[in-house]
Amino acid sequence: MSTSYRVDWRRRLTDRSMTVVVTGCFVAAMVPLVWLLGTVVTKGLARFDWTFFTSSMRGIVGDGGGALHAIWGTVLITAATVAISVPIGVATAIYLTEYGSGWLPRLIRFLVQVLTGLPSIVAGLFIYALVVILAGPGARSGVAGALALSLLMTPVVITSAEQMLRLVPTSVREAAIGLGAAKHAIVATIILPHAASGILAGVMLGVCRIIGETAPLLLVAGFTDAMNSSIFDSRMATLPVYIYSQWQNKGADLAAYDNRAWTAALVLIGLVLIFNLTSRLITHRFAPAAQGVGD
Amino acid sequence: MTDTTVTTAATPTVSSSRRLAIESMSAYYGDVQALADISLTIEPHTITAFIGPSGCGKSTLLRTINRMHETAPHAKVAGSIRLDGVDLYGANVDPVAVRRKIGMVFQRPNPFLTMSIRDNVLAGLKLQHRKVSKTHGDDITEMSLRAANLWDSVKDRLNKPGSSLSGGQQQRLCIARVIAVEPDVILMDEPCSALDPISTAAIEDLMINLRRDYTVVIVTHNMQQARRVSDRTAFFTVAGAGEPGRLIECGSTEQIFSHPVHQATADYVGGRFG
Amino acid sequence: MTTLAFTSTLSRPERATAATVRGAVAGAGLLVTVVLIGVGAFLAVAGWPGLTASSSELPLGASNFWALAAPLVFGSVWSAVLAVLIAVPAAVGVALYVTWFAPRAVAGFLAALVDVLAAVPSVVYGLWGLMALAPGLAPVYAWLGEHLGWFPLFAGQPSATGRTIATGALVLAIMIMPIIAAMCREVFQRTPRASIEAAQGLGATRWEVIRLAVLPFARGGIICGAMLGLGRALGETMAIAMVVSPAPFLIGFSVITSANPNTVAAFIAQVFPEAHDVEVSALIGLGLAMFLITFIVNACARRVARIYGEPR
């Protein structure tokens, strides 16, 4: 009786067909990505011109105009969001890992988990209701948008920063404790520098999440055709809301509005990808530093 | 277990090395008792070795001396440790202040990897918010690295990262880092267990020099090492898993290794144990 | 022994700094706590008038709050469930491909490519779903309506524009697939080596190894990923608001007609800019209801994760 080293044909067939199915799944999942990026790039290039980046929509009906005001609004609101959520988020993460004990850290972790799943439009509603009380109905401003986005970004920053702070090896902490360092000095001199790149990568991913947010900004920052450089005063346009409104409030020249929306989408995807890739690069570049040799 | 008294006046050194009196010390991790009722005096300007099988609590006792033990989650202690009469566990004593007088060298070399050699030496001062001028910093760096027998091999690369050194050199850098903050007592938790024999010999020579200026306590699992470097030896043991560690006897190293009082000590130092 | 061995406390400025830092970080923690609890409490208070509003005060002239809310909650759940049903098998396939089938050298790159899908802003998905995907699917719907019209899902007059809840769910599925795939990838990678080698030692083919060792181990992770995806799909606003053409108060299971159930989030985004007074309260009440639903779904996801000992 000869020994066969071949798996019987039925098992081999199953194996082959499942390979085809799984590979097919992956290819199918790539179809929308390629289709979407292809559409955005081809249609977006139509208005990817100097005017688009240098003018607003003030007084524009039909062709021409640009998204300078929306790009500027996105930059300002994103910067304000980072300025609010990063200090609070990192400080809270330090509290959770280095200082907290008892019920408060447990409560904070629970609430942060809850908030991580907060639908963005609900964040917008909350800030809207708050602004109505403080500034009267109908008030819209960039800072209100930044507050709503901070509600979405702070939990992300807390979670990722806490993870990074926990990665600092015990041996490094003990070295500092053994040298007679007070806790605040250890945090400032040893732990934060050690975790800085990881925290930065987390912040970048947080920015990725909020820079494309539309719904809350639609509610609380509103939309305008003109430049507005004050985040504290009146409506402020942003790129995502610009895309929505170009589609929503079309004038007679349909193509002009569609083209502007696609170009804005191209710019927005570009921004998101830049932040995403930078975050990956930081993680990749500094990953070895996260593990101490002395551990 | 009686200890002879050595007058501090007999030690004409710059640093004011002092006597440590451990009284009825017990230590816990949560509900697990790791140490039971240890009383022991550590004489100034001596090297005291803690020996005993794994789990006997010798490292835990070492970590209670500079109040590192309590940094572990749910760790507790009972008893007192006096440094020249001042209870380190007294009500108005800040553990951070204790650690400034009682430095610690760890099992594995743990230099700050992102800092240069010079910054590593000065890290303790920086962490203690002490202002150090450039020239003063240079002096402290040189003094500390010389005291740690490391100066000659690193003086040309003080700005290289601490991670560029070999394991033995890293451990000596860690000792220099402790010396720079001018402690009275230096605790060493198995400082050579991660090192090769040549580096170990270098650290042992260094310890013997350190005795001149500091009180040194070393935990070691290497009985030859205890015998080579220490003046006094304390032997600990543990009845079994989950039991607290106990001090069996403490005396001059010569006495512990040549004619121990207890049979358990004789078995352990004679290699008939564990 | 004339002097004390050491000063037992830190210097005054050092203690002050320590106290300031401690106060600052504890303050931040407390602030986060207060704000987060405030969100829930505040929404409840601001939404309350909407819950008891009369017909004349409500959007669309709904007879009462619940008549307004029920079809929208249905729409949210229906579209999210459809999305999860599409996304989970695809995500498992994608994760399996990346961990088990793709050449080692490119696996990391392919995984990153899938993550790019997650980073695309929802408004861009909305624009693409509306202007590219929907017209592309319209002929498919026409064919389905003609040949499978007897099946409840494909009943009714097929939409000519393709802006149906099926398109919306497909866009949602594309958006949540990377989230589920990332979770699956993580658990697939953590299959115990011993189980894999045990299966290989018995002469199992690659697929048999996956079926015997990998998938059983990953079940909890897949369920958890599906729940997280469901939570995300429930709260998604812009894609549905832009892609689906809604009909008021509709509860129906046909997925290919031009009259579709609307979702809570999309409804809020569409109606809010022109809403006033009690209408706003009603919308806030709707937002609160959705917050509760997503909270329950996410809590279930965490529960599943804890039962199966998965991360998060």
Give me A150's structure tokens: 């901070």
The 3-class SS string of chain A reads CCCCCCCCHHHHHHHHHHHHHHHHHHHHHHHHHHHHHHHHHHHHHHHCCHHHHHCCCCCCCCCCCCCHHHHHHHHHHHHHHHHHHHHHHHHHHHHHHHHCCCHHHHHHHHHHHHHHCCCHHHHHHHHHHHHHHHHCCCCCCHHHHHHHHHHHHHHHHHHHHHHHHHCCCHHHHHHHHHCCCCHHHHHHHHHHHHHHHHHHHHHHHHHHHHHCCCHHHHHHCCCCCCCCCCCCCCCCCCHHHHHHHHHHCCCCCHHHHHHHHHHHHHHHHHHHHHHHHHHHHHHHHHHHHHCCCCC
At residue B178, the pLDDT reads 93
- Residue C1 to residue B8, Cβ atoms within 8 A: yes
**Pairing label, strands B86-87, B75-83:** antiparallel
Chain A: nearest CA to B88, how far in angstroms? 14
Q: What residues of chain A lie within 8 A of the CB of C127, using their CB?
A: 243, 247, 261-262, 265
Encode pLDDT of B201-223 as tens digits: 988 998 988 888 899 999 998 88
Q: How far is residue C71's CA from residue B71's CA, in Å, rounded to a whole number?
A: 56
* Neighbour subunits, B (≥3 Cβ pairs < 8 A): A, C
Q: What residues of chain B lie within 8 A of the CB of A176, using their CB?
A: 112, 123, 127
* Neighbour subunits, C (≥3 Cβ pairs < 8 A): A, B
| Residues B53/B61, Cβ–Cβ less than 8 Å | no
Encode pLDDT of C246-258 as tens digits: 888 888 888 888 8
CA atoms within 13 A on the CB side of A130: 20
- Residue C9 to residue B94, Cβ atoms within 8 A: yes
Q: What residues of chain C lie within 8 A of the CB of A23, using their CB?
A: 97, 101
Distances in whole angstroms, Cα of residue A243 to Cα of each of A52, A222, A274, C269: 13, 13, 19, 14
Backbone φ and ψ for B21, nearest 5 degrees, come out as -115, 110
Under 8 Å CB pairs connecting chains B and C tally to 43
Encode pLDDT of C139-188 as tens digits: 998 898 888 888 888 888 888 888 999 999 999 999 999 999 998 998 89
- Report which of C135, C183, C89 is spatially closest to residue A35, judged by C-alpha positions: C135
Chain C: nearest CA to B221, how far in angstroms? 31
- Residue B86 to residue C10, Cβ atoms within 8 A: no
Backbone φ and ψ for B97, nearest 5 degrees, come out as -65, -35
DSSP C54: -
Kindly state whether C14 is in contact with chain A, defined as any CB-CB distance less than 8 angstroms.
yes
The alpha carbon torsion through B22, B24, B25, B29 (nearest 10 deg) reads 180
For residue B185, give the chain C residue with the closest CA.
C5
Kindly state whether C36 is in contact with chain A, defined as any CB-CB distance less than 8 angstroms.
yes
pTM for this entry: 0.85
Q: In sequence order, which residues have a C-beta less than 8 Å from that of residue A219 and are 6 or more positions away? A: A121, A124, A125, A127, A128, A148, C268, C269, C272, C273
Domain residue ranges of chain A, discontinuous segments joined by +: 68-290
SS3 C158: strand
Kindly state whether B42 is in contact with chain C, defined as any CB-CB distance less than 8 angstroms.
no
At residue A287, the pLDDT reads 58
Give me C92's structure tokens: 């498992």
With vertex at residue C124, the alpha carbon angle to CA C119 and CA C126, rounded to the nearest 5 degrees, is: 120
Long-range contacts from B81-84, C-beta under 8 angstroms, 24+ separation: B81/B20, B81/B21, B81/B22, B81/B23, B81/B25, B82/B20, B82/B21, B82/B23, B83/B18, B83/B19, B83/B20, B83/B184, B83/B185, B83/C5, B83/C6, B84/B18, B84/B19, B84/C1, B84/C4, B84/C5
Give me the residue from B110, B126, B129 closest to A172, CB to CB: B110
Mutation for A interface: C7, C9, C11, C39, most A CBs within 10 A: C39
**Pairing label, strands B102-105, B47-51:** unpaired
pLDDT one digit per residue (tens) for chain A, 295 residues: 455 666 678 888 888 999 999 999 999 988 998 999 999 999 999 888 888 998 888 888 878 888 999 999 999 999 999 999 999 999 999 999 999 888 889 999 988 988 888 889 989 988 888 887 787 777 788 999 999 999 999 999 999 999 999 988 888 899 999 998 889 999 998 899 889 988 998 999 899 889 999 999 998 988 888 888 888 888 899 999 999 999 888 877 888 899 999 999 999 999 999 998 888 888 877 754 443 333 3
CATH class of B16-110+187-269: alpha beta
| Residues C274/C268, Cβ–Cβ less than 8 Å | no
- Report which of B127, B132, B169, B125 is spatially closest to residue B148, judged by C-alpha positions: B169
Kindly state whether C41 is in contact with chain B, defined as any CB-CB distance less than 8 angstroms.
no
Give me the residue from C36, C120, C205 closest to A11, CB to CB: C205
- Residue B84 to residue C14, Cβ atoms within 8 A: no
At residue C92, the pLDDT reads 94
Give me A73's structure tokens: 């609004």
At residue B272, the pLDDT reads 65
- Residue C8 to residue B85, Cβ atoms within 8 A: no
Give me the residue from C5, C9, C17 closest to B83, CB to CB: C5
Q: How far is residue B251's CA from residue C165's CA, in Å, rounded to a whole number?
A: 85
Give me the residue from A108, A184, A218 closest to C269, CB to CB: A218
CA A254 to the chain's CA centroid:
31
Kindly state whether B93 is in contact with chain A, defined as any CB-CB distance less than 8 angstroms.
no
Give me the residue from B92, B128, B184 closest to C8, CB to CB: B92
Q: How far is residue B111's CA from residue B114's CA, in Å, rounded to a whole number?
A: 9
Q: How far is residue B215's CA from residue C130's CA, in Å, rounded to a whole number?
A: 78
DSSP string, chain B: -------GGG---SS----EEEEEEEEEETTEEEEEEEEEEE-TT-EEEEE-STTSSHHHHHHHHTT-GGGSTTEEEEEEEEETTEETT-TT--HHHHHHHEEEE-SS----TTSBHHHHHHHHHHHTT----HHHHHHHHHHHHHHTT-HHHHTT-TTSBGGGS-HHHHHHHHHHHHHHT--SEEEEESTTTTS-HHHHHHHHHHHHHHTTTSEEEEE-S-HHHHHHH-SEEEEEEESSTTSPEEEEEEEEHHHHHHS-SSHHHHHHHTT---
Backbone φ and ψ for C284, nearest 5 degrees, come out as -65, -40
Domain residue ranges of chain B, discontinuous segments joined by +: 16-110+187-269
Give me C33's structure tokens: 């706590």
Q: What residues of chain A lie within 8 A of the CB of C115, using their CB?
A: 276
Give me the residue from C97, C102, C124 closest to A40, CB to CB: C124
Say whether pLDDT at B64 is over 70: yes
Mutation for C interface: A21, A110, A122, most C CBs within 10 A: A122
Kindly state whether C271 is in contact with chain A, defined as any CB-CB distance less than 8 angstroms.
no
Domains and CATH numbers, chain C: 52-307 (1.10.3720.10)
Under 8 Å CB pairs connecting chains A and B tally to 87
Kindly state whether B127 is in contact with chain C, defined as any CB-CB distance less than 8 angstroms.
no
* Neighbour subunits, A (≥3 Cβ pairs < 8 A): B, C
A293 beta partners: none
- Residue C9 to residue B18, Cβ atoms within 8 A: no
Give me B37's structure tokens: 């009722």
Q: How far is residue B232's CA from residue B134's CA, in Å, rounded to a whole number?
A: 40
Kindly state whether B67 is in contact with chain A, defined as any CB-CB distance less than 8 angstroms.
no
CATH superfamily of A68-290: MetI-like (1.10.3720.10)
At residue A292, the pLDDT reads 38
Encode pLDDT of B87-135 as tens digits: 999 888 889 989 999 999 999 899 988 889 999 999 998 888 888 889 9
Q: What residues of chain B lie within 8 A of the CB of C17, using their CB?
A: 129
Of the listed ranges B50-64, C21-35, C53-67, the least confidently predicted one is: C53-67
Encode pLDDT of C89-148 as tens digits: 999 999 999 998 988 888 888 888 888 888 899 999 999 999 999 999 999 988 988 888
At residue C6, the pLDDT reads 61
Q: What residues of chain A lie within 8 A of the CB of B106, using their CB?
A: 171, 174-175, 178
ipTM: 0.88
B12 pLDDT tier (thresholds 50, 70, 90): very low
Give me A49's structure tokens: 């011109």
Once rounded to an integer, what is the mean pLDDT over residues C62-79?
A: 88
Q: What residues of chain C lie within 8 A of the CB of B97, using their CB?
A: 6-10
Largest CA-CA distance found in chain A, in angstroms, rounded: 92
**Pairing label, strands B20-29, B75-83:** antiparallel
- Residue A129 to residue C283, Cβ atoms within 8 A: no
Kindly state whether C17 is in contact with chain B, defined as any CB-CB distance less than 8 angstroms.
yes
- Residue A178 to residue B178, Cβ atoms within 8 A: yes
CA B191 to the chain's CA centroid:
9
Q: How far is residue A12's CA from residue A32's CA, in Å, rounded to a whole number?
A: 32
For residue A268, give the chain C residue with the closest CA.
C121
At residue A2, the pLDDT reads 54
Give me the residue from C10, C29, C207 closest to A92, CB to CB: C29
**Pairing label, strands B75-83, B47-51:** unpaired
Q: What residues of chain A lie within 8 A of the CB of C177, using their CB?
A: 29
At residue A129, the pLDDT reads 83
Mutation for C interface: B94, B127, B214, most C CBs within 10 A: B94
Report the b/e string of C278-297 with b at 16+ CB within 10 A. bbbbbbbbbbbbbbebbbeb
Q: How far is residue A114's CA from residue A107's CA, in Å, rounded to a whole number?
A: 11
- Residue A25 to residue C89, Cβ atoms within 8 A: yes
SS3 C121: coil
Distances in whole angstroms, Cα of residue B48 to Cα of each of A125, B196, B220, B235: 68, 23, 10, 11
At residue B6, the pLDDT reads 39
At residue B61, the pLDDT reads 94
- Residue A36 to residue C265, Cβ atoms within 8 A: no
Q: How far is residue A225's CA from residue A217's CA, in Å, rounded to a whole number?
A: 15
**Residue whose structure tokens are 């009469």:** B85
Say whether pLDDT at C208 is over 80: yes
Average pLDDT, chain B: 87
| Residues A56/A225, Cβ–Cβ less than 8 Å | yes
Once rounded to an integer, what is the mean pLDDT over residues B71-79?
A: 89
DSSP string, C227-269: HHHHHHHHH--HHHHHH--B-TT-----SSBS-B---HHHHHH
Chain A: nearest CA to C126, how far in angstroms? 9
Residue B267, judged by CB atoms within 10 A of its CB (0-12, 13-18, 19+), counts as: middle
